[in-house]
Homo-oligomer: A and B are copies of this chain.
């Protein structure tokens, strides 16, 4: 047992910095808060004192003195699937936890209509300090995000990115990697099958995340497991009924179907089709996003594995990152990295 002594070096305050730099408290304050009226040389002296003393503003005190809550708004899909619904629930939880430092509003938007999303961003009230939005890649959306950034409103993208825009951070997973992960798992799990066709169902390849997952999946299957035939994607718009029809058609057309990858939501439909034909547990089915439904299907071995992004983590991370950005605090990249989670029956949370 080796202990570091109980020496309390007393944390440096702004007053210490001012004294050390040989300026008044007011000047030190002006310098550190970026207010005008400080010469460059003075500013440098103060910054030197800051580093010399290792000064870090007391966040709680600063928050209290500012006496003003930050205002965030989250733009989320209007017609939410179960993943988006749980994301929204987590955002609400986060809003409660974060008060009073930040007040979080939620606004709904048809994020799949780029114009609607762009309009929502363009007409964003100036009262908001920051925006988290489920984005899409579209020139007008990009322009709207850039305008917000230009006027000083910080923007993060959530779940779905707009990488060419001026958003300063993306909260979400690497979707091509998620697709590759699905591919590797499919190949590994099919080790026993000599060959055979694999079906792929997506919401829509017009959605960037679905397209990217599809790309990653195909990449791995083609290069590592070429003995399997990956069938063309069927687009079911995350709709259980349409997915059911797609799955039923797949099963009928390919009696030797060995694998099934659903890139999007609407897993109930697929489950129904599999059960109907009595081929549940005979097809290696990989799905995305842990929900009550996928959890149940995982437990009864109908789904082999679920690839998930933790909605709670995403909601909290987005809020944390915005808070840090608005208050000049550092961001811990390790904490904010959204992992690609793999769930089996055995490591379910």
On A, residues with C-beta under 8 Å from B are 1-4, 6, 8, 11, 56, 58-61, 63-64, 69, 90, 93, 97, 99-101, 103, 105-109, 116, 119-120, 123, 125, 127, 177-178, 180-181, 183-185, 188-193, 216, 220, 304, 310, 312-313, 316, 330, 332, 334-335, 337, 339-342, 344-347, 349
| Chain B neighbourhood of A312, CB < 8 A | 334-335
Beta-carbon contact of B332 and A340 below 8 Å? no
A-B contact pairs, 5 of them (CB 8 A): A4-B107, A60-B61, A178-B347, A188-B189, A191-B191
A6-B127 contact in complex given A100-B11, A340-B347, A346-B220, C-beta closer than 8 Å = yes
A11-B185 contact in complex given A64-B60, A191-B192, A347-B177, C-beta closer than 8 Å = no
Beta-carbon contact of B332 and A97 below 8 Å? yes
Q: Taking each of A93, A178, A349, which has the highest tally of chain B beta carbons within 10 Å of its own beta carbon?
A: A349
| Chain B neighbourhood of A61, CB < 8 A | 60, 64
CA gap between A312 and B310 in the complex, in Å: 17
| Chain B neighbourhood of A189, CB < 8 A | 188-189, 191
CA gap between A53 and B209 in the complex, in Å: 43
| Chain B neighbourhood of A123, CB < 8 A | 1
Closest CB-CB distance, A333 to chain B, in whole Å?
10
Neighbour of A2 across the interface among B4, B64, B107, B220, CB < 8 A: B107
Closest CB-CB distance, A72 to chain B, in whole Å?
12
6 smallest beta-carbon distances between A and B, as pairs: A191-B192, A60-B60, A340-B347, A180-B346, A342-B342, A191-B191
| Chain B neighbourhood of A177, CB < 8 A | 346-347
A109-B1 contact in complex given A6-B125, A304-B188, A335-B316, C-beta closer than 8 Å = yes
CA gap between A8 and B99 in the complex, in Å: 12
CA gap between A107 and B2 in the complex, in Å: 6
Closest CB-CB distance, A144 to chain B, in whole Å?
13
A108-B2 contact in complex given A178-B347, A192-B191, A192-B192, C-beta closer than 8 Å = yes
| Chain B neighbourhood of A332, CB < 8 A | 93, 97
User: Can you add 15 more A-B contacts, CB < 8 Å, to A64-B64, A339-B341?
Assistant: A1-B123, A3-B105, A8-B69, A61-B64, A90-B334, A180-B346, A184-B346, A189-B189, A189-B191, A191-B193, A310-B339, A313-B335, A337-B349, A339-B349, A340-B347
